């Protein structure tokens, strides 16, 4: 009798495993018990201010990751639970690993001259380090609620703790890059006032050596994309060869002198303005 029940459940499970990729993606996002989303207890309330209706959160994420959707401000409320599951489940890690596997294969294929001019550009936030502890706060809810000056100040405090955890996949790429004789450049749009914290934080999690750590001076009023392009232009003028460039935002890898090859890590939680 118990065996019979299990058999029926098993058949149902198998049926869903087989078609899960299609059927679970086809409908509207499921709204599970919020208590299931550890460590969150509060459901999102804020609106996304999105002018295109969001019917399907898998489609929404794909348009974000492929740079079709731009200048978006906040995860649509309806996709909050979907993004929460994605970021706290295994798929986010798998996706980061898949990007880094391709990047490492590329690094190993490169002929690196021994002139010390080969560099690799690493973004910091949600590339070298993971801001997930901040974004999983109930009052941020994985990017559903971010349009808030107070939260911005608290994010800055979070950075200053210098205890932001590593993004494991990127550390793996860093190790392959250094081993190949390519120098690491950390390039971030975060304020140069956080330089000490970032320096300490990067070293603490395993990024032990680098050629430059470049932060955005408070006097620079351009967008992150323009700032990063200008920095890269300067590096190229100085004689460096940008063998690769990795970031979680398109603003990190478009513009001028983007590098011999670019890599885009996933990030469905926020949009880095061009």
The footprint of a copy of itself (CB under 8 A) covers 4-6, 8-13, 16-27, 29-30, 32, 36, 51-53, 55-60, 62-63, 65-69, 82, 85-86, 89-91, 94-95, 97-99, 101-103, 105, 262-264, 266
SS3 assignment for 176-210: HHHHCCCEEEEEEEEEHHHHHHHHHHHHHHCCCCC
Q: Would you call 246 helix, strand, or coil by DSSP?
A: strand
Give the residue with the Cβ less far from a copy of itself, 10 or 42: 10
CB of 208 to a copy of itself, least distance (A): 26
Between residues 131 and 267, which has the closer beta carbon with respect to a copy of itself? 267
Instruction: Closer to a copy of itself by CB, 96 or 124: give it.
Output: 96
Residue placing its CB nearer to a copy of itself in the complex, 45 or 105: 105
Terminal Cα distance for the chain, rounded = 61
- In this complex, which beta carbon is closest to a copy of itself, that of residue 68 or of residue 221? 68
Q: Give the 3-state secondary structure of residue 241.
A: strand
How far apart are CB 62 and a copy of itself at their closest, in Å? 5
Considering the complex, what minimum distance in angstroms separates the CB of residue 156 from a copy of itself? 29
Q: Where are the alpha helices (DSSP H) in 73-182?
A: 80-88, 91-109, 132-135, 149-160, 168-179
Contact 202, 122 (CB under 8 A): no
| CB of residue 34 to a copy of itself, shortest distance in Å | 12
Pick between residue 49 and residue 113 the one whose CB is nearest to a copy of itself: 49
List, in order, residues 6 or more apart from 228 with CB less than 8 Å away: 187, 189, 251, 252, 255
Q: Least Å distance between CB 189 and a copy of itself?
A: 21
Nearest-approach distance from CB 70 to a copy of itself, in angstroms: 8
CB of residue 251 to a copy of itself, shortest distance in Å: 15
In Å, how far are 159, 189, 196, 219 from 193, measured between CA atoms?
11, 11, 8, 12
To the nearest whole angstrom, how small is the minimum distance from the Cβ of residue 3 to a copy of itself?
12
Contact 268, 145 (CB under 8 A): no
Q: What angle do CA 248, 250, 255 make, to 5 degrees?
A: 135
Please state at what angle helix 195-205 crosses helix 149-160, rounded to 10 degrees. 60
Of residues 105 and 196, the one with the C-beta less far from a copy of itself: 105
Q: Which is nearer to a copy of itself, 208 or 260 (CB)?
A: 260
Q: State the Cα–Cα distance between residues 122 and 128, nearest whole angstrom.
A: 7
């Amino acid at each position: 009798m118990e065996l019979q029940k299990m058999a029926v459940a098993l058949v149902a499970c198998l049926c869903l495993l087989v078609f899960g990729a299609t059927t679970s993606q086809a409908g509207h996002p499921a709204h599970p018990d919020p208590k299931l989303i550890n460590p969150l207890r509060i459901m999102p309330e804020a609106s996304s201010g999105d002018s295109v209706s969001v019917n399907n959160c898998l489609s929404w994420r794909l348009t974000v990751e492929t740079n079709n959707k731009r200048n978006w401000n906040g995860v649509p409320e309806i996709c909050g639970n979907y993004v929460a599951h994605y970021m706290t489940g295994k798929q986010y890690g798998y996706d980061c690993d898949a990007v880094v596997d391709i990047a490492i294969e590329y690094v190993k294929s490169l002929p690196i001259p021994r002139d010390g001019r080969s560099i690799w550009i690493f973004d910091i936030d949600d590339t070298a380090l993971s801001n997930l502890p901040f974004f999983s706060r109930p009052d941020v809810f994985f990017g559903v609620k971010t349009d808030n000056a107070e939260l911005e100040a608290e994010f800055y405090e979070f950075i200053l703790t210098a205890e932001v955890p590593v993004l494991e996949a990127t550390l793996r790429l860093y190790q392959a890059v250094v081993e190949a004789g390519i120098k690491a450049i950390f390039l971030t749009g975060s304020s140069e006032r956080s330089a000490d914290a970032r320096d300490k934080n990067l070293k603490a999690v395993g990024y032990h050596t680098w050629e430059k750590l470049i932060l955005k001076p408070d006097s620079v009023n351009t967008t992150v994309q323009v700032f990063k392009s200008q920095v890269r232009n300067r590096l190229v003028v100085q004689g460096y060869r940008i063998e690769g460039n990795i970031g979680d935002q398109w603003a990190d890898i478009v513009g001028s002198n983007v590098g011999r090859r670019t890599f885009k890590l996933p990030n469905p939680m926020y949009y880095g303005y061009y």
